[in-house]
Each structure stands twice: as structure tokens, then as C-alpha cells.
Amino acid sequence: MPYTDAVIHEIQRFADIAPMNVPHATAKDVIFRGYNIPKGTTIIPLLTSVLRDKAYFEKPDEFYPEHFLDSEGNLKKNEAFIPFSLGKRSCAGENLAKMELFLFFTTLLQNFSFQAPPGAVLDLTPALGFTNAPLPYKICAIPRS
């Protein structure tokens, strides 16, 4: 199951569905990379800059589940994996979402094989906007015996 968990993590990292997080405000004066940011300044975190950071992901522009596996094949944490944001304003439903994603994904994989329709070319380029929504495409879900 660690590989399945790594695939789910990589889907969230690679899809980067909400690249611009909701606005936050600094709770105190902060110095960030040499810049003074006064208390109360509105900050809009760009999660893409972290989820595609070459310092944390070996192949940041490729779908590569091994980003989340150690040398023994176990799931490893990566501090740059923040699809739910960070701190007090992170997604309140993060734990529920992670559990539901795992159960939903594994149930689908246990019951179906997925493949593109004959002759179809799948394009993983998202529809860019405030969110990176996937483009519509057809897929075949074949029941397992």
C-alpha cells in the first residue's frame, strides 16, 4: 500500500489544483529572504512554487511517485508537500480528505482497470485559471474479474 499512497500524494502534487492559496495575513513582523513584511500584511501563498521546487522533488515537472518513497519502498514525508496549505489556516478537512482519497482510490483500483479509449491521446495539461482543473477526456473503466 505505500506505493498506492505515494501515487495519491504525487497526483496531488502534480495536479496542483489550487496553485494560489487563499489570502493570509502576517501575525507579526516577519523577515523573509531579506524583506521586511509588516504585521497585518496580506500574503497570497503560491503553492506551485513549493510543489514544483527542485530542491525537494527530483523530477518536479514529471509525474514521479518515487518522490514519496524511501529506498526501501516505504512512504516518506516531504516537507514541501503542502496541497492543503500550512499553519492555522490550512484545510480543516485535510485528514478526512486524505482518508477518503485513499479509500476511494484503492476501491476503484481493486475493482477496475483503467485505460484510454483506442486511439486516444491523453493530454494532462490543465485548464488554467484560478484553479488548475483537469480538461475533460474519456477513459475506459473495465471491471476486474
In order of 22, 64, 71, 133, the CA distances from 114 in angstroms are 34, 19, 28, 20
Binding residue per annotation — 91? yes
C-beta of residue 82 within 8 angstroms of C-beta of residue 19: no
Residue 143 per-residue DSSP state: E
The CA radius of gyration of the chain, in Å to the nearest whole number, is: 18
Give binding residues for heme as ranges.
91
Give binding residues as ranges.
91
